[in-house]
Every structure is written in structure tokens, then in C-alpha cells.
Amino acid sequence: MTDAPQNPLHLVYDGAVATMTLQNGAMNAIDDALLSAICDVCDDLAKKPEIVVLRIRSERRVFSAGADLALVNERMKTQHGVAAMVETVRLFHRAYDKLVALPAVVVAEIGGHALGGGLELALACDFRIAAHQAKLGLPEAKVGLLPGAGGTQRLTNLCGAGVAARVILAGDLIDGAEAARIGLAQYAVDASELTARVDALVAQIAAMSPDSLRACKACIGVANRMSAEGAKAEIDGLAHLLTTEEARRRVASFLQR
């Protein structure tokens, strides 16, 4: 007899605030199960106008290390596996687009590393509050891939092409303090102060007019909407890279290390 699989996230409602805690293994790997769970949460929250804030956090030592590279490595070995991985990339986009479209204000509490798809999850949120000690990055080019879940588009829209080049093309890892300085995060504090700082921000937002918040978020969204062309470029680019020998070699080498 085998144990039932653990839910990849835990959702708690408390008045006007919903808290989503990621709990998908030690590194909060983002896989189909977690992405589907995020979609379900968003569909549920869209029907709950009384929820003003969604807080996304992790009790692991990382916020999320991104996609499961072992799964990517296995899928890259066959044409069928590559097709399955491309569908997972499309699921990334659906899940993160649902987060962006939520009427509720979404706050990412980044207490540990947010890398690859983990940072792309945070980029789909309205607020990012990072611990000084956290590392944020999109290192996909190091393994022959690209940030295909909105990273190239949302980071560029948020911080400009120069910062996007630094994080994506140079593969720089940015600590929380630097993330706040360059606009990747709105706030950064010492890890020991993070929970209290997020508590305060969530309370500050929840005290505002829900109708005004929804209207303001909708207006900001119009100005910051990711284009269909940008999303297609990411998906098509990653679909090609998944078939290359260079990417297979780099992913396998990374996993061996």
C-alpha cells in the first residue's frame, strides 16, 4: 500500500486574506500537479469577492527552485516527452495568467531562493517582498533553455531590458536587497523580519476599499499586459530548445553535479 500524494500547496482563508503555502517537496519544484492546484485556487478565488489579498509563501528553505529538471531531462529524451513538456509550459502560462487576472491583490513572500519558474511565479504577483538573504534569478540559459513561463516578458516589462539582460542573458543571481534596489521586488528586509513585514503589508491592503483595489488592479493590468506574441515567442523558443543536443547535454550535466 502506498501513501496518497501530498497536496502540493495548502490554502487557508482568514477573513479577507487567503494564504497559499507551497509544499511540493524540499525545493518546491513546479510541476503539473502544483500548476493545476494553482489553477484550481485561482478559479475558486475568482468566485470569492470577499477575498482581498492572496499571500503566497513557502515553509521550505526555498520559495521555489523552479521546474523539476530531472523531469525535464527525462522528457527531453523522446519526441513524445518533448511534446509533454511543451504542454507543461503551456500549463505554466495558464496558471500564472490566472494569478495575474485575479481581482485579489497577490503578494509573494520570498523567504528563500526563487529561481526559474519560481521567480516567474513571483513575477505574476502584484507584490514581491524578499528576504535580504534570498537569491532571485532566471538561470535557464545555463542549461540551454529559456525562462518560458513569462520570465522574459514580465521581467522586461517590470524592470526594463537592461535588468532583464543582466538576469537572463548573464545569469546573475540577485539577492533580496539588490532586487528591491532595481525594482524586481518592492520591499526587502532581513529574513528575521520578513513574516512581520508581510503581515503588515497584507493588513494595510486588506483595510482598503475592495472595489477600489479591484478597479485599480484592473487599470494597472491594462498598462502592464503581456502580449500574446511574447507568450508565443517563449513557448516556441523553449519548444525548439527542448529538442537540441546542447540542451540535453547541459541539463544532464547539471543534474550530475
For 173-222, write each residue's pLDDT tens digit.
999 999 999 999 999 999 999 999 999 999 999 999 999 999 999 999 99
Q: What is the mean pLDDT of the chain?
A: 94
Question: Directed axis angle between helix 228-241 and helix 151-159, to 10°?
Answer: 130
User: Residue 47: how many CA atoms within 13 Å on its side-chain side?
Assistant: 5
Phi, psi torsion values for 145, nearest 5 degrees: -120, -165
The residue-averaged pLDDT of 51-67 equals: 95
Integer angstrom CA distances of residue 209 from 80, 194, 201, 204, 216: 49, 25, 15, 11, 10
Q: What is the DSSP string of 183-240?
A: TSSSEEE-GGGHHHHHHHHHHHHHTS-HHHHHHHHHHHHHHTPPPHHHHHHHHHHHHH
Say if residue 226's pLDDT is above 70.
Answer: yes
**pLDDT for 152:** 97
The CA distance from 39 to 91, in Å, is 9
Pairing of strands 187-189, 17-22: unpaired
CA dihedral 188, 220, 215, 12 (to 10 degrees): -40
Poorest-pLDDT segment among 1-5, 62-66, 105-109: 1-5
* pLDDT tens-digit readout, 201-213: 999 999 999 999 9
Could you say which of 109, 120, 229, 245 is catalytic? Answer: 120
Of 50, 87, 109, 140, the catalytic one is 140
Average of per-residue pLDDT across 52-72: 94
Distance CA 25, CA 129 (A): 23
Average pLDDT on 72-92 reads 94
**Is 38 strand, coil or helix?**
helix
Domains and CATH numbers, the chain: 9-212+222-256 (3.90.226.10)
Q: Where are the alpha helices (DSSP H) in the chain?
A: 32-45, 69-75, 79-101, 117-123, 151-159, 161-164, 176-181, 194-206, 210-223, 228-241, 245-256
User: Element (H or E) spanning 29, and its range?
Assistant: none
Beta bridge partners of 30: 67
- What is the band of 5 on the pLDDT scale with cuts at 50, 70, 90? low
Other C-beta atoms closer than 10 Å to the C-beta of 34 total: 24
Q: Identify whether 87 is a catalytic site residue.
A: no
Which residues contact residue 227 at a Cβ distance below 8 angstroms, ignoring those fewer than 6 apart?
A: 153
Largest CA-CA distance found in the chain, in angstroms, rounded: 54
Neighbours of 28 (CB within 10 A): 27
